[in-house]
Chains A and B, each alone.
Chain A
């Protein structure tokens, strides 16, 4: 299995060291699976919504044998897309992951992070991670278009789980 580890240190390093991950044992990444059905008519992130503590490492892995996927943060640095991650947080883009390839980031800035799969955004393949408390984030409103850049397709906007649901359940799955 090929693994690319891309650690983002976004300030708050001391805080990151003290934080306890909510959804995994300390030091273990939380996994988000990239999946699809047999004829690629349906593709998705599992889970689609996730709440973690600052300093948590997230690992995306492509478990879809018939397709390539990306995990790409909504940010002007990524294809001039609207910013839907917290101010001061570094955007990421996994590039295309073939089956069984993976990619990791460590998120330390609190807030809401929205991401998408480049070839499948128009099929609604998006996800949302809340680090710590959601605060006042560009993505704080589920259905709102963030300013700047190419707007999100409606199917993507509607696919994000609400912040309330993620805060309440911790993990949101829609498979």
Chain B
């Protein structure tokens, strides 16, 4: 009986369609991601970051997916409130990282903006070389 049940369970598992991962390489990403400028009143393209998408359930930390003007993913950004970083009882665990290979990382202070209204740190996982950061530079 136990063997039959196990066999049935395995058969069922292999017959289920694989859950596809969200497509994030090109804007707009699939899944629960929404364009940040449609969630809050903020410029659609942020110089230095690009066009941002986020799953609202993950606010404020993110991940935010940042795209250049051609809709190509350039970075994954986490926004971590300073007051949380200095709170010994607060942790940010298991943040999703759907963007793939990371070339380099920037961490810097941000004074705030709609959506993340308190001072916070931007942790930017760049998926492109340093020279390609200009793809999201101010025009």
Bound-state Cα–Cα, A96 to B112, Å: 13
| A122 CB within 8 Å of chain B | yes
* Chain A hits for B108, CB < 8 A: 39, 41
B85 within 8 A of A: no
Contact A119 B113 (CB under 8 A): yes
- Separation of A52 and B71 alpha carbons in the complex (Å): 47
Q: How many residues of B contact A (CB 8 A)?
A: 20
Chain B residues near A99: list those with CB within 8 A.
Answer: 43
Give the interface size bracket for A toward B: 20 to 34
- Do the beta carbons of A40 and B110 come within 8 Å of each other? yes
Q: Which of B75-131 contact A (CB under 8 A)?
A: 108-114, 117-119, 122
Do A66 and B48 touch (CB < 8 A)? yes
Question: Does A43 make an interface contact (CB < 8 A)?
Answer: yes
Seen from chain B, the residues whose Cβ lies within 8 Å of a Cβ on chain A are 40-43, 46-49, 108-114, 117-119, 122, 138
Known: A119-B112, A120-B117, A122-B117. 13 other contacts (CB 8 A): A38-B48, A38-B138, A40-B112, A41-B108, A41-B111, A66-B43, A68-B40, A68-B41, A96-B114, A99-B43, A118-B117, A122-B119, A123-B111
| A binding-site residues for B, Cβ under 8 Å | 36, 38-43, 65-68, 95-96, 98-99, 118-120, 122-123, 125
